[in-house]
Chain A
């Protein structure tokens, strides 16, 4: 493919010294629209627009595969039936660990036989209860294994509500589609539905920054005492020379939380 520029170069040696030819070449260039508002700009805008659509709409769609839960589960129905709210099924074990998604054993307490006419329940009993197979639930909130997370510390210790992180899943009547990241294998819920990472509710997204958001809010005044001798020296220097100025973070401080070291959460 030859561009107008090339043509101009090819022309110019032949027309060396010919001013008219040179100026006609400039005119030609202008005519061809090499300035603003011409095809170049158009292509720029085109490329810009295509990549934006690709980046904001198409790629995010392609990045996630859509999966259906093995059983369409009705949380609202179950919550109404059980006595203890979320903890009826998602309970803490005697040793303080969190049970997460219940095992078949718990479901069998009620569903040893089919109770209603819901095809989902019939499927559940026939496919899983009778065959004693665990249901391969897809877990929307499953975090990478490299993170320590203690439910007990948040629910029992900090008295947080399930909804704060998990949203109003307890009121859902059907199981929504599980979107799995084709690269990482994790649920879309972690990054959030909004591909730009914006969120309206605290449960819309659960990346490290979202943990940090809360932790930073709660603990801005606290600082770790773990500091290197150099840091301590610096602290003293600042305290003496610039009274009132805040000392820099110590080595234990995380950029995200301004508190604790990486290994507090990361294995």
Chain B
């Protein structure tokens, strides 16, 4: 096989052409599917089809019979989407595919799935979070968390112990079903009631507050101005300076976070980033070497702040960070006000030198 062979070259050309055409076809098909399902699930069409009496034309009802499975699927999908948007927490049944559960004394193949949708700042929804609960076949209906996709810094285990008690004596095993002998169960008095709603509410609260914290940091960055590496052109004058890893937008670890840098700004801030994925602490770095860090509370207030410069702590800036209405979103305007204040006071210190 010679690479320079004209026949193989022509073949390769044709192959690449074919593949590009296929790709285009695929894109167009996707677009068509998207549009058609949009139309099918649109409120106008669904409303019209759901009232066949008011459209007594014979032809339409025939048509209705033909397309009904598709339309019905689209309708139910739109409805469940409405529920997900409106209530943000929805449930669904799920069957555990594992074959060995039937032999378990308390196991059940049927799991209760809970889906939590969180709306984030860019008008999208984050990847849904799932909690799969297993019913225990003992007395009243009790559930325990079987699997979940909640990030590790939200302590699902501990929340479960508080809100869904009755599983703690066998907790600590990977899926502690193996030691749940019925006699042991009877001995354990389940004094406290399980509170599934409270459990889910608390979980959702933590998820939402995490996403809101991330959004707040991103909002602050956007206010300062962000240069993305490789996307936005940046002036060569500020070639040096470290790039930060961006916060991944859909909070997916392996989605390839982009490297970003803050634009030159009036605040003199070089870097502003959360210290960890959970984004409860934010680190700020100024041009003059001052480094600060503040904590965002779960209600979106700046709880504590520390700023350290070359000459020790900068109390004025700390006060600016935590002062005012304390909100994270207004940190920059407070800093601006604080900067004006320090600039007014600084000439005197210059004079003294």
Answer whether A and B are interacting partners.
no
Chain A residues at the B interface, C-beta cutoff of 8 Å? none
Chain B residues at the A interface, C-beta cutoff of 8 Å? none
